[in-house]
Amino acid sequence: MIKNYLVPSGLALMMSGCVASTTTNNSDGYTDAGLNKPVSSERCLASPPKDVHLWINSMPGPGVGKKYPLRATFTTTTGTPGYQFALKVDQVMESFPEQVILDLIVTRPLGMVAQVVTENKVNIKLDNFPGSEGSSVQVNCAGKLFFKVDKVMAVH
């Protein structure tokens, strides 16, 4: 007899938890339907870096064109292991030496990962760096200053 009441009520409770809801209030135009947007455009997914080193690898070798690669190494903290980092040229202000602004692209790991705050040693190579020795380089993450180096040195 108890089973006749518990099973249907238990199923009703389980099903009610699966229904998604969206709140719309037409009086002030608020809707929370946009709350599932990715946060990567609003804030950087990595903490401010430490031990930042930037240099231009001007060593001759095969496949080296007119522009030389920029190497960046730093340590940063993320919420889980498995994040990937890349640099992309945002803008170059033509002066001598050049002022280069780069964007740091931070990509979350795919799938399930342990939720452990992780310190990452990042080593990035940017092929065909548009600057030269002595250029200032500013790296932005999510539109905000991540770090800046006033004069990039070259390794010969």
102-120: pLDDT as tens digits? 999 999 999 999 999 999 9
pLDDT, position 66: 66
pLDDT digits (tens, 9 = 90+) for 4-48: 655 555 545 444 444 333 333 333 343 434 333 334 457 899 999
**pTM greater than 0.85 (yes/no):** no
pLDDT, position 85: 96
CB contact burial 83-111 (16+ within 10 A = b; e otherwise) = bebebeeeeeeeeeebebbbbbebeeeee
pLDDT, position 48: 94
